Amino acid sequence: MNTAVAGFSKLSKEEKINWIATTYFSSPTKAIELIKKYWNSDEKLQKLHDEFIENTISNFYIPLGVAPNFLINGKNYTIPMAIEESSVVAAASKAAKYWSTRGGFKATVIKTEKIGQVHFMYKGDSSKLELFFAETKAKFFSETHDLTKNMQQRGGGILDITLEDKTNLLPNYFQLHATFETKDSMGANFINSCLEQFANILKKEAQAYKLFTEEEKDIEVVMSILSNYVPNCIVRAEVSCPVADLSEKHIPNPEAFAERFVRAVQIAEVEPYRAVTHNKGIMNGVDAVILATGNDFRAVEAGVHAYASKEGQYSSLSHAKIENEIFSFWLEIPLALGTVGGLTSLHPLVKLSLEMLENPSAAELMKIVAVAGLAQNFAALRSLTTTGIQDGHMKMHLNNILNQLEATEEERHLVQKHFKNHVVSHSGVVSFVESIRNT
């Protein structure tokens, strides 16, 4: 079947849906019904969603849950989390309650520096380029003043610009490496606008520079773009308590638990295969809060995993130790977040989530997000080193299996009663439901 289509973006929403339904589905009517079933009944709100991206046909819902009882730097939070994975919110809530009686979480923003680069090719004497840059540097600041004045009034702006010689990596490759402070905005548009202006200034000034030959004046700007790797935009989250205070129902021997927990973290520090799954658990918590607050989880994911490899091997983002009978568990991660601009001022549920967090600054949101990641990691490691991860996860997943089987209320009751004392597995649930239906 030839499914190419010309001018698709110019079709109306109805025309797009009709084309998709008739092209790909054996029952176009059912496909259209399903697509429209997820439209918002409020036409104004649906129009808002439609305009977030191009070629919108419907809404794809992800549950928005909350994890209460997070005590962070002495203040209580209920954290919004948008995620579809069944056990994440429950695990975060459990970890929050556990640490709320042991001093809570501590969180500190270490740095908030963001990065952008102008990548360009220069064929000539590098010493002349360095002299040119030294003489021209002030113009990169003065000739972007119209772009930066509002940010400067909020305490942000361009922090510094350096010339980087990368010819050892690629012939003739240089870059302008710029650092920024964007305060409560994520700052992508601000940074990219500044970088494109830097590129224009670079080319213009190079053409007028008397020490350059004609070839040296002909600087080729390849691209101007922010970096999602922000190793100097770092937040630390941590918990600690006397080892004896770790005791609870599933931790009858806190000393043995603490030692096993630390070993589990050490394994993730040295074994990349384990570290990837370990860090994925951290990002379960991080991404859920980032998504709920309208931030870019893809950018954060890319930057965080690059940071996990900064020593040359992929490693754990979190660390643990026992020292003087005190158990400590912490992480440091790069988080470039915003609480103004973008979806934060457009998406109604994003605005609701931020208000639930008492309208935090970007720095405060960094702390909350990092804590959510640490809590998620603690919950996973506690399960792994005590009861095992599948016990809690599969019990949470039980509802998903029952929904797939379209179980009745009576069947649900019998299944839940049976699996209180049996290991939950997909095949086990299917077999048990079939046995009920065959009696």
Catalytic residue list = 85, 280, 296, 393
Q: Which residues, listed in sequence order, are joined to residue 66 by a DSSP beta bridge?
A: 80
Name the percent of the chain in helix, strand, coil, to the closest 5.
50, 20, 30
Q: 190, 151 in Cβ contact below 8 A?
A: yes
What gap in Å lies between CA 31 and CA 50, rounded to an integer?
Answer: 19
What gap in Å lies between CA 3 and CA 22, rounded to an integer?
Answer: 11
Q: 157, 312 in Cβ contact below 8 A?
A: no
Rounded to 10°, the helix 272-292/254-270 angle is: 100
Token pair of 311, please? 């020593």
Token pair of 86, please? 């069944």
Say how many C-beta atoms besides its own lie within 10 A of residue 250's C-beta.
11
Token pair of 198, please? 């830097």
Q: Cα separations (Å) of 420 from 93, 106, 387, 401, 424?
A: 21, 36, 15, 15, 9
Q: Which residues, listed in sequence order, are joined to residue 70 by a DSSP beta bridge?
A: 77
- Give the burial string for 107-144 (b: 16+ CB within 10 Å, else e): bebeebbbbbbbbbebebeeeebeebbeebeeebbeeb
Residue 426 buriedness (CB in 10 A; 0-12 / 13-18 / 19+): middle
Strands (E) in 377-437, as ranges, are none
What gap in Å lies between CA 12 and CA 240, rounded to an integer?
Answer: 57
What gap in Å lies between CA 189 and CA 193, rounded to an integer?
Answer: 6
